Chain A
Amino acid sequence: MSDIVHSSAAELAARIADREVTSVEVTQAHLDRIAAVEPAVHAFLHVDSERALAKAAEVDAKIGNGESVGPLAGVPLALKDVLTYSGAPTTCGSRILQDWVPPYDATVTKRLLAADIVILGKTNMDEFAMGSSTENSAFGPTHNPWDLDRIPGGSGGGSSASLAAFEAPLAIGTDTGGSIRQPAAVTGTVGVKPTYGGTSRYGLVALASSLDQPGPCARTVLDAALLHEVIAGYDPADSTSINAPVPPIVQAARSGDISGMRIGVVKEFAGEGYAPGVEHRFAEAVELLAGLGAEIVAVSCPNFRYAMPAYYLILPSEASSNLAKFDAMRYGLRVGDDGVASAEEVMAATREAGFGAEVKRRIMIGTYALSSGYYDAYYGQAQKVRTLIINDFARAYEQVDVLVSPTTPTTAFKIGEKVDDPLAMYLNDLCTIPSNLAGNASASFPVGLAPEDGLPVGLQVIAPPLADDRLYRVGAALERVLTEQWGGPLLSRVPDLGGPELEVVA
């Protein structure tokens, strides 16, 4: 019987439903864990103990009354601080929103609450989701539980770290160019970016509207699938939401049968810049997949080399417009309002003080790219490259059911290592970006530790839009065979972060 904080969400849900343990106990155990390890990890920006325990009590009462509850009822969850949750601050990791309490809940938040999930608090992130390391947070970085001197990935480093630190069994992230998948890879956890339009963006503070997607983060494939099912699905409040049933992901996660599946290895996602340990574990995993009955096919997607340039034009352009609303007039930080300064001056002073360096860089790039005279060469051209990338995927899918690659070229790098080199930082997203441009479903699954540094490596699976279930099928297959190989979950090897004796529930 594993102790509470080391259990999976599915296990906890079953035990809560069976009344073996209460949601309040489970929640309290996680709050205790948070208190113990947060000084080291700093995954959370805000912990909402009162509301979490109140919700837990409510769920316990419902179960006590014999009311039917959802499959994850009473299980605690960490919510990335980019999704609105009324009654507490939603900061997006930015000074400009540091005290903003939204008056409304995101659709994802509403669905979590309706599913009787207990929201523990809001997790740290790169400011406005711009980054690959969570070092761009205005409130200090999050530390990778595998090595506290290293980054937990970004922009959703708080969510992934909270899982790896056993502060929560479930988390929600958002992914624009890899912000769920890359943190999952470098923390040895599972992270899924649903098909674009699969999960509602209403209440997700927008970075790049045509790329953003909220998604599930967990330690196991089944947990991620169960959470995915709670949050995904059509939302009339989001015009870009797909009006179709959620694919059969839980079934796929339970099955894990990949015999006969055609798996494409993308030739362009290898070579220079990829750490040997990463390529090693990736190759091993691919062999395992072959051993399980999948057909491995080499595919080439030649236009993928233009994905990063296109992405770093499209994202800043959309972001420069999306972030214009932060102007000190209606909410958020206001600087320089001395009764004499004009609105324009106050806007400019506030944005100067409230935005960090990376945000400013991307706003400037975006402003430039959309300027008259430059639109066709930059943004316009990038949208064409986008079409070419979609075509590359389409051609690949004629031959294969899914594509695989390393999730990110390296393992977790040290805090401070790349923070002064924007382009070097951008390279972390090399493998993940194309899926966002094409709207594909994509996920990262842990496939081991790199031999040279003992740090987690992730394998990325990419499926055509609306085929999210294929991700879980492959992920479950890998998880099963690797867990057996390792003699237990990968995360059992994460260093002990100390703190009080963990309560073992017999």
Chain B
Amino acid sequence: MTLSREEVAALGRLARIELSAEELDHLAPQLDQILEHVAQVSEVAAADIQPTSHPLPLTNVFRADEPKPCLTVEAALSGAPAVEGNRFRVPRILGEEA
């Protein structure tokens, strides 16, 4: 299971991280090492075991349909790198049609 440089780059794209050439070079073997370690989970015979997604046996946690105070616009926008009027200004979006 050796991860190629291209596969690492593809993962980077999926994760929206623009990995540098140096990173691609040394990440692949490190990731390989980690993946080899974690692949040990497959040694366990677990065909008839239920997976646990939660350590707690809770179900049906709901809240009533009652309004709560919202943030002020200022607070909502307070961390914004760029603002236009009362909106978050973001660079042009590629991708699908609006």
Contact = CB atoms under 8 A, between A and B. Distances in A.
B6 interface: no
Given A348-B16, A365-B34, A343 B90 contact: yes
The prevalent SS among residues of A at the interface is helix
A367 interface: yes
A312 B63 CA distance: 33
A310 B52 contact: no
Contacts of A381: 41-42, 44, 46
Nearest to A330: B88
Q: How many residues of A sit at the interface, in one of the four size bands?
A: 35 or more
Interface residues of B, number: 54
A309 B78 CA distance: 40
A306 B37 contact: no
A240 B91 contact: no
B15 interface: yes
Interface in B35-73: 35, 37-44, 46, 49-56, 58, 61, 63, 71
Contacts of A439: 55-56
A331 B80 contact: yes
Interface in A50-91: none
Contact of B37 (A308, A329, A371): A308
A320 B15 contact: yes
B84 interface: no
B51 A367 contact: no
Interface in A283-332: 303, 306, 308-310, 312-313, 320, 324, 327-332
A461 interface: no
A470 B83 CA distance: 52
Interface of B: 3, 8, 11-20, 23, 27, 30-31, 33-35, 37-44, 46, 49-56, 58, 61, 63, 71, 75-76, 78-82, 88, 90-95
Interface of A: 100-104, 196-197, 210, 236, 239-240, 242, 303, 306, 308-310, 312-313, 320, 324, 327-334, 337, 339, 341-349, 351-352, 355, 357, 360-361, 363-365, 367-369, 371, 377-378, 380-388, 390, 422-423, 426, 437-439, 465
Given A242-B56, A306-B43, A344-B94, 7 more contacts: A104-B75, A309-B38, A327-B16, A331-B78, A343-B91, A352-B20, A387-B51
23 contacts: A210-B53, A308-B37, A327-B16, A331-B78, A332-B81, A337-B91, A342-B94, A343-B93, A345-B91, A348-B17, A351-B15, A351-B16, A351-B17, A351-B18, A357-B23, A360-B27, A361-B31, A364-B12, A381-B41, A381-B44, A384-B44, A385-B41, A387-B51
